[in-house]
Amino acid sequence: MNINFSKLKNKLSRLVDLDTNFEVFGSESHQYILNPCLSERELQEFELNFQVNLPEDFRNFLLKIGNGGAGPGYGFLGLNIENFQNEQLFPPGFLAQDFALKNEWNDLDLLQQMNGSQVSVYFDQKFVQGSIAVAEYGCGIQARLVVTGEERGNIWIDDRTNEAGIYPLTSHCAAFFHDDPNMDTYMYESVEESNEALTFYEWYENWLNLAINQVLEFG
């Protein structure tokens, strides 16, 4: 994979010039503004405190482009360090533990396993341990970057709110989430050849490419 952050910046600048009316989904929320970058010291402290090695493309994005803002869905969430210090939101070792899934998962039987007012086992945090939410697509759908385990570096979708489970974000899925203007031409074709999850860099570039295409075709 060829990682070129200058190319990402150039594509984002082009999208900003093209989409002056914020026609791309979610762009009104972030208005193509990026948050300030994190420092190397901040990232090193985070990795040490939470016993995690962040994927290089994600890490370098935070260092060279921005810690959140313009991005897929309602915007790239960045790395909220304070959130991970809240043990009510994330139990100790959450990021250091391996992401448990290797294939798409959706066990609806777990929705029945509730105890009084407690949340269903279906929504247990253990199913997304070792991952970081990087975007919200609406209706409770999250894009998550795996940071620990065999799937490290890949983007997965958490769509349990809509009872659709957790699954890798393939190029075929990204065409749907990123409003590919040509999606209808292959929507019903076999997806056997595109069953690998996109990396963080591929995910962000995919959004840029499809957003630019969308504005050029319909803007």
pLDDT in tens, the chain (219 residues): 678 999 999 999 999 999 999 999 999 999 999 999 999 999 999 999 999 999 999 999 999 999 999 999 999 999 998 888 777 778 889 999 999 999 999 998 888 776 555 668 899 999 999 999 999 999 999 999 999 999 999 999 999 999 999 999 999 999 999 998 877 655 544 444 467 999 999 999 999 999 999 999 886
Residue 83 domain-assigned? yes
pTM of the shown model: 0.92
* Residue ranges making up the domain that contains 39: 21-218
Count of domains for the chain:
1
CA torsion 90-93-96-97 (nearest 10°) is -90
Residue 2 resides in a domain:
no
Q: Is residue 85 part of a domain?
A: yes
- Does residue 15 sit within a domain? no
Task: Judge whether 31 and 6 are in contact, CB under 8 Å.
Answer: no
SS3 195: coil
